[in-house]
Amino acid sequence: MTTVDPANLSIIHYPDPILRTRCEPLPEVTDEVRTVARRMIEIMLQAPGLGLAAPQVGLPWRLFVCHVPLDPADKDSRLDTDPASPLLTATPEPTVYINPVLSAPLNPVESESEGCLSLPDITGDIPRPRAITIEALDLAGSPFRQTATGLLARCWQHEADHLDGVLILDRMSSLSRLRVRSAVRSLEKAAGVR
């Protein structure tokens, strides 16, 4: 792992090749990893966004941050699991997920509009399982497991896709892809690809 200056981190935009990189697991949670993760939270909140993956700031690490705040208007929004309702819908504060693994997708699959900080001004309908389980390490290097539904589950899946080099462009419906084609070409042209 190379040394990273967190002050130099910024959001990387499509079509930068790092966004197509399958990221490597972090062998350990070091002070550097913790510092980078905290800086990623700052960048995510300033953007503003709900999640940010390491490749979006130029790092090929299996790490992302996420914050889906509790929605007081949503009576089903909950932070803590309980026996009657084991699915999370929000995070109490920005959360770091190191070496995350998603499992147990629950049907139905639902299509919702998603955007991405690395694809400014581009949104599209993305089909994803309604609920998912995540296992990851926290900033102390301790493993944890959670299950979420709704926007939080969608955020986890979106950010985990980044760790495998998958973008929302790859998951969009054909109609959404057609609708954003000129915006994608503009990003490519600005980067000197077209």
User: Residue range 132-146: average pLDDT?
Assistant: 97
Residue 154 lies in a domain: yes
More confident position, 81 or 127: 127
Residue 1 lies in a domain: no
- Per-residue pLDDT, 9: 97
Say how far apart CA 40 and CA 64 lie, in whole Å. Answer: 8
What does the pLDDT look like over 146-187, one tens digit per residue? 999 999 999 999 999 999 999 999 999 899 999 999 999 999
- Per-residue pLDDT, 193: 82
Tell me, what DSSP letter sits at residue 146?
E
What does the pLDDT look like over 11-51, one tens digit per residue? 999 999 999 999 999 999 999 999 999 999 999 999 999 99
More confident position, 76 or 13: 13
Name the average pLDDT for the chain.
Answer: 92
Is position 112 annotated as part of the catalytic site? no
Say how far apart CA 110 and CA 115 lie, in whole Å. Answer: 16
Domain encompassing residue 173: 6-190
- Per-residue pLDDT, 72: 66
Could you say which of 28, 135, 159, 188 is catalytic? 159
- Per-residue pLDDT, 3: 83
Do 143 and 97 meet the contact criterion of CB atoms below 8 Å apart?
Answer: no
Domain count, the chain: 1
* CATH number of the domain residue 35 falls in: 3.90.45.10
Q: Which contacts (CB < 8 Å, 24+ apart) does range 50-54 have?
A: 50/151, 50/155, 51/155, 51/156, 51/158, 51/159, 52/11, 52/117, 52/159, 53/159, 53/160, 53/162, 53/163, 54/23, 54/162, 54/163
